[in-house]
Amino acid sequence: MEFKALIFCFIASILITPLVKKLAVKIGATDKPNNRKVHQKLMPRLGGLAIFLSFVLGMLFFFPDSTYTWPLIIGSAIIIITGVFDDMKEISPKLKLGGELAAAIVVVAGGVQVEFINLPFGGGQLEFGYLSIPITILWIVGITNAINLIDGLDGLAAGVSSIALLTISGMAITMGNTFVVMAGLITLGSTLGFLIYNFYPAKIFMGDTGALFLGFIISVLSLLGFKNITLFSFVIPVIILGVPISDTIFAIVRRYVQKKPFSAPDKSHLHHCLLNLGYSHPETVLMIYAMASLFSLAAVIFSQATMFGSVFVLFILLLLVELVVEITGLVGQNYRPILNFIKDYRTKR
């Protein structure tokens, strides 16, 4: 059933995407080149609508009776409407955030909440109580925007999201979570079908419609897959989404250091930094795919490791993230504490 759902949505997305491309051009949902954009010509966006329509068809056809199906579809529809307006008119950040909050509230009302976590070393449970709702909403909005921030190169957000969806679905299979498996593979099939048109050189962009939708779905599925769990396994979805989360965190740090508004756009995200180092467009995308795959593999190892092993995996990941940040100049060209330490150590020897 899972494989049939994936193939069904993959084919549906392939068939729907060209129609959405024509619609985008007709209604003016196009992306114009500017000094912050990498592409050089007018491009239709709104591609996320094709992913969403394929997703809805898959959910209604293969999994219509789950408790979470309709909250997820309704929440996604709110996100899609928000994204469509943004792709057409570039709405204000406040309006966009309002749409994200409304979508998050819908799924929370539908039963998606992290109510407690089990503490390690026999420490019992940490009940979130009234904080469970704001914590859940904060997670959904945060991950939704994290995926949106990495949508800067052809096929980048779709590919990274696909890797995350595959990992979440695979881990859900081992935990027997049927809904997360089905919804994850349905979204994966829909995204891969779109990726055929979106990989370099792209024929259509997913736009905020797609980036917000994928971020929203991934945030909700990761909560459903790992809700009410141990403190250490709560880290698993954070690791799976390591690339967009770390890029978002360092974007905030960078803007704080440079005394810029947190919502101010720039050309210093991970993909921009790799391009500045001389890598080509497809090379940059494939390198970030490799990083996302490494994070996903680490999440799987983390989930199966002992307490000591989990801490070790986390330490190695944090060290690798720091090295990537320093090498690429993600925070700034002068931020190189570890590399400078290594350089000084070699000089003294």
What are the binding residues?
Answer: 148, 208
**Angle 273-143-109 (CA atoms, 0-180°, nearest 5)?**
170
Describe the crossing of helices 207-226 and 132-149 by its angle, rounded to 10 degrees: 140
CA distance 286 to 155: 9
**Angle 249-93-49 (CA atoms, 0-180°, nearest 5)?**
95
Annotated binding site for Mg(2+): 148, 208
- What is the helix (H) or strand (E) element at residue 127, kind and residue range? strand 125-127
Q: Which two tokens stand for residue 222?
A: 């990761």
In sequence order, the β-bridge partners of residue 117 are 126
Q: Which two tokens stand for residue 210?
A: 């797609």
C-alpha distance from residue 326 to each of 273, 316, 320, 338 (Å): 11, 15, 10, 8
CA distance 256 to 71: 36
**Angle 48-50-55 (CA atoms, 0-180°, nearest 5)?**
95
Q: If we measure between CA atoms, which residue out of 228, 75, 244, 85 comes closest to residue 164?
A: 244
Describe the crossing of helices 48-62 and 207-226 by its angle, rounded to 10 degrees: 40
